[in-house]
Amino acid sequence: MDSSSASAPANAIITRFFVEHRLLGWLSMAAVLTWGWLSFQSLPQQEDPTFPTHDAVLVTVHPLLTAAQMEQEVTAPLEAALKHLPTLEKLQSQSQDNVSTIVIRLYTDRKKAIDEQWRKTREILKTVKLPEGSLEPRLETDYQLPATLLFAVLGEKAVSGADEIERALRTVPSSGRIRQFGHAPEMIASFEDMVAAGYSVRTLHREKDGQLQPAESVLVAVEMKAGNIIHDFKDAVLAKIGGLKLPESVKVITVSDQPAATAHRIGEFLRCFIEAVVVVVLVALLLMDWRTALVVAVAIPLTIAMTLGGMAALHVPLQQISIAALIISLGMLVDDPVVASDGINRELADGQPRGIAAWLGPFKLRRAIFFGTIINIVAFLPLALLPGDMGAFIISLPVVITLALVSSRIVSMTFIPLLGYYLLRGQKGFDAVNGSHPLHRLIPFYKNALQFALRRPLLTIIAAYGLLGASTALIPFFGKQFFPVAERNQFLIDLRLPEGSSIEQTRKVTAQIGDRLQKEEAVQSAILVSGGGTPMFYYNVLPRQPAANVAQVLVNTRHAEDVPALIVHLREVFDREIKDALCLVKQIEQGPALETPIQIEISGDDIPAKIAQVRQALVDAGAYKVHDDSGIITRINQQRTVTVKAMAPFGTLASGILTKARTAFPASGIAFGGEERELTTSQREMERVLKISLALIALAMMIQFRSFMKSVVVMLTVPLGLIGAFAGMAATHASFGFMALIGIVSLAGVIVSHIIVLSDFIEEERAAGMELEPALMQAALVRLRAVLATVFATVCGLIPLAVTGGELWRPLTAVHIFGLLFGTVLTLVLLPVLYLQFARWRWIK
């Protein structure tokens, strides 16, 4: 009889099963890998997460009313009716000559609930009595959906060519909404026809390495139906267009290509992921023998395969957040296999037959593995409670990490015993001082440091928390930025002429911009729209409402690296050459849509004086392009409001400008919008999430240790990670924003989960009758390899994301890498010291 069939606890049945039924175990392994591969192939792909569409724009036209009349007779009655919507978050309106525009924002909810609210909105609109001559209000609930592909149709017969393309693309099954822009009506039969006639598009395009050539054009925006594979959609659309027999004079070029951007982004992150896997395996080889490292290496694809299967089941697409979540989880998902393998090795080293050691090692550590997994999960899962757009943006991070950790738990209790049976031969812990591993040379230093700390516990505790207090001195040096810019080969030029300017004047200034762009070698193409804005092509670039005095230019450069220098250059040129219009050259950003990062909303009494005071304060603080919307009648939640807006000079953070200007602002009647509002709201929401996370971590440890004070001992080590987090942000010049907040919130659980095996072994040795101080020393040395392996795997696995993941991930990776390194080093000393001191105070037994 195989030794594995020796008597064992009944609750070890799952762990034993894969050791005793090894053929079935190998088949299960193959099935899991196949499942993961098929899931990966079927997952939808997109560049960024999808924001929920819970905003709508309501446009009402009256050809004969002035702006003031539109406000009183159209906007005000509509707002009064709409305020009764049950889930209304905000109303913001603009009243101009002939046009009332109201943006309706609902609280985030399920799509079905949002659609029900729009149905109620349409019923409410039917009850509003508007002045005679008003056109029926037009409610657009999908105006925030970006085009998947945006084409420019050039040539004398561009209009007929665009019509033929639209007809053909409607036959593509995966095509959603298809719209044309710049297609002027042949007859002017309404005010809307007049607006459409004023909307014109010119395209600059470069033939290979030739000069940029201007041409009148029509834009065709194509959206993909949800749930399709984006590169398959692009292939189908291009094949359909390529099969058309268009007139020779008609040329079709792609001016915005979401599938290409998605492929580039996902390709970069997959490369990051592969690099991270390699790094994690190398860390395992450094800290373990090759057999143990091989077990851990095999556990990674098994765990990732299960995770991909879970993503497919939950309809989580591949995009930068979900792939980054896989990278972040790499170090944590090897935690369980490392601890399980360490347990098997220890049983083998103590003389157990391999058929018993293979399941007994993981079984003995089942509580530590289970609670370590639970603590890691509750470090991230509460992020799913974030409300609003930010919750929707980040939701795939906690979901994917939770899937990875649950998968890791399953692998460590099933496939690791199977692999351990065949591969492991026994490896002693770092308590074997005479071992041959190179890291054993560091053990005497650690033992001496720990013995010194245990002899002077109060001094050690004071020194550790004194260092934490000193690290807070770094906080004032952090820049604040809610979200960084998007690293794309595109940027925008927004143009606004004074109110009352004609479309001819707007076209003239737009042509001036086009003439300048033709001289720039870095520009690959551009679309110049007069009388409105470009079609929505990126998730946070909101479309502008048509008006005779506005224009927008989308510029595509050869490379993303060309954008910063070109923006600086064009700002200097346009500031010098364009005097009678507001011209904003700006990068495309990530996160929620913000027209400008600096926004000060002014309401109440004495608005003109407050506007002048705020404008002067911003100018004195060094703000760029200070302007306001006082020329347009704007209301926020039914109150007249003027918003002063500004940008920061290139390379400067908006938060720095506001810090300087804030002391000179009026004492009342103002509210902060833009980045400041978003960051303040996020901080408040993150504080709630952090409290929930810490409470759940503490609860899990109380259940594990069956002691409140023992869980307090572990929780007291959590703040030490902030020392490294603050130092890391300062060292990498990372800005304090949304992603840094996520890093800080989740850091606590990551630190605790890595050192909980140390606490578990202390309890095990004490239960066996060992004296406290020897137990503390023994536990520290026995569990040192598992702690170092998981911490170094997490830290080193994050390095590729930190180096090549872009500005979005730099704050979070800085917090985790430096926070874990500093926190773990200090915790390996402080945790035994706290145990000792609490025992001396008789707070724990």
Q: Same domain for 685 and 818? A: yes
Say which amino acid occupies 803. V
- Two tokens, residue 286: 């450094």
Nearest to 587 by CA among 486, 683, 467, 494: 486
Give 220's strand partners: 151, 180
Q: Which pTM was predicted? A: 0.84
* Boundary of a domain, candidates 647, 672, 697: 672
Segment among 555-559, 586-590, 749-753 with least mean pLDDT: 749-753
Burial of 724 from C-beta contacts in 10 A (0-12 / 13-18 / 19+):
buried
Domain of 618, CATH number, reads 3.30.70.1320
CATH of the domain at 723: 1.20.1640.10
Together in a domain, 664 and 692: no
Structural domain includes residue 277: no
3 pLDDT exceeds 50? no
pLDDT digits over 107-151, tens only?
887 778 888 999 999 999 999 999 998 989 999 888 878 899 999
Residue 283 lies in a domain: no
Q: Are residues 491 and 580 in the same domain?
A: yes
163, two tokens: 């019509």
CA distance 391 to 396: 9
Domain count, the chain: 4
Alpha helices in 598-737 (DSSP H): 607-620, 654-661, 674-705, 708-715, 721-732
Is residue 281 included in any domain, yes or no? no
Contact between residue 125 and residue 98 where contact means Cβ atoms under 8 Å apart: no
Burial (0-12, 13-18, 19+ Cβ within 10 Å), 239:
exposed
Please state the rounded mean pLDDT for residues 69-88.
93
Phi-psi region of 60 (alpha: psi -120 to 50; beta: other; left: phi over 0): beta
Shared domain check, 252 and 224: yes
Residue 529 lies in a domain: yes
- 97 and 215 co-located in one domain: no
Residue 267 placed within a domain: no
Q: Last residue of a domain, which of 523, 557, 587?
A: 587
**Domain span holding position 649:** 598-672
Dihedral Cα 354, 356, 360, 362, nearest 10 deg: 40
CA neighbor of 827 nearest in space, from 771, 778, 764, 756: 756
CB 633 within 8 A of CB 95: yes
Mark which of 122, 140, 158 sits at the end of a domain: 140
Q: How confident is the model at residue 328 (pLDDT cuts 50, 70, 90)?
A: confident
Same-domain check for residues 648 and 796: no
How many Cβ atoms sit within 10 Å of the Cβ of residue 812?
A: 27
Residue 27: both structure tokens together:
């088949």
Q: How far apart are CA 231 and CA 45, in angstroms?
A: 8
Tokens of 300: 């990674």
Tell me: do 712 and 830 sit in the same domain. yes
Residue 17 lies in a domain: no
**Do both 714 and 825 map to the same domain?**
yes
Kindly state whether residue 224 falls inside one of the protein's structural domains. yes
Both 686 and 810 in one domain: the answer is yes
160 and 121 together in one domain: no
Question: pLDDT digits over 333-374, tens only?
Answer: 887 888 888 888 888 888 889 889 888 888 888 887 788 888
Residue 410: inside a domain: no
Find where tokens 């690290």 sit.
471
- Is the distance from CB of 621 to CB of 661 less than 8 angstroms? yes
3-state secondary structure of 591: coil
Mean pLDDT of 731-755: 85
pLDDT tens per residue, range 467-506 = 999 999 998 888 888 888 888 899 999 999 998 889 999 9
- pLDDT value at 174 more than 60: yes
Give the Å distances, CA to CA, from 729 to 358, 476, 690, 810.
43, 12, 19, 9
The answer to whether residues 499 and 614 belong to one domain is no
Stretch among 200-214, 477-491, 503-517, 778-792 having the lowest mean pLDDT:
778-792
Can you tell me the distance from the alpha carbon of 582 to that of 569, in angstroms, rounded to the nearest whole number?
17
CATH of the domain at 512: 3.30.70.1430
Tell me 318's DSSP state. Answer: B
Based on the domain organization, do 685 and 834 belong to the same domain?
Answer: yes
Q: What distance separates the 2 farthest-apart alpha carbons in the chain?
A: 96
